[in-house]
Amino acid sequence: MFHTKKPSLTLPPLPYKRHALEPYISARTLDFHYGKHHQGYADKFNKLVSGSDLTELTLEEVMLKTTGDDYREAILNNAAQVWNHTFYWNSLSPEGGGKPSGELGKKIEMSFSGYENLIKQFCEAGTARFGSGWVWLIKENGTLKIMNTLNAENPILLRRGTPLLTLDVWEHAYYLDYQNRRNDYLTTLLDKLINWEFAAKNFNQA
């Protein structure tokens, strides 16, 4: 699903209903975040690549091809934001939260000396991101790591291993429900909504 062919990039539907993440993320936030912000990046992207040599590429290919090209920065930013948001919706689930089990759970124990440390590092990386960006759990060189990225950047275009999960730390992701309390947003989502099943799938494919 992350290999959407162009032209006619259309957003995949949200993987749950608009009220499904309440009370932790409101339907109103999803209406704006998916319906206006995510859709806006897709519309802009389609407009920018129309008639170019990029229309037949996947989003991943577009990101890798336009990274470092000053003339195509807007294309890169919009492509990455489309990709990041689709990955974010899948990183959340109404049945999510809690502690991961299985192989991924074991790997977390090894990489972070415990699940609690993972949560701590994840929240620290998310609150430390000055301005807008993303916080990620990635698998790189066989190890699990936490990283944050600026604005639209992501582990794919930075060539930093395989992303397993992400949380959006742009203000539009949490302001309606949490106002300025970014740390509350992060800890609540990790506790109640984070989709370890999705992370495990990405982990097994990495």
Residue ranges of the annotated binding site for Mn(2+) are: 33, 85, 168, 172
Residues in contact with Mn ion, total (CB under 5 A)?
A: 3
8 A C-beta contact, residue 203 and residue 111: no
Nearer to Mn ion, 32 or 115 (CB): 32
Q: Could you tell me the smallest distance in angstroms from the CB atom of residue 169 to Mn ion? A: 9
Helices (H) and strands (E) in the chain, counts: 9, 3
Question: Which parts of 22-61 interact with Mn ion (CB under 5 A)?
Answer: none
For Mn ion, which residue has the nearest CB?
A: 168
- H or E stretch including 171? helix 171-178
Q: Which is nearer to Mn ion, 44 or 120 (CB)?
A: 44
Q: One symbol per residue from 149 to 178: x for binding Mn ion (CB under 5 A), - otherwise; what is it?
A: -------------------x-x--x-----
Angle in degrees, CA 17, 21, 23, rounded to 5: 130
CB of 106 vs Mn ion, minimal distance in Å? 32
Closest CA to 4 of 85, 70, 94: 85
* Conformation bin of residue 95: beta by default, left when phi > 0, alpha when psi is -120 to 50: alpha
Shortest distance, position 170 Cβ to Mn ion, whole Å: 5
Q: Provide the binding-site residues for Mn ion, judged by CB under 5 A.
A: 168, 170, 173
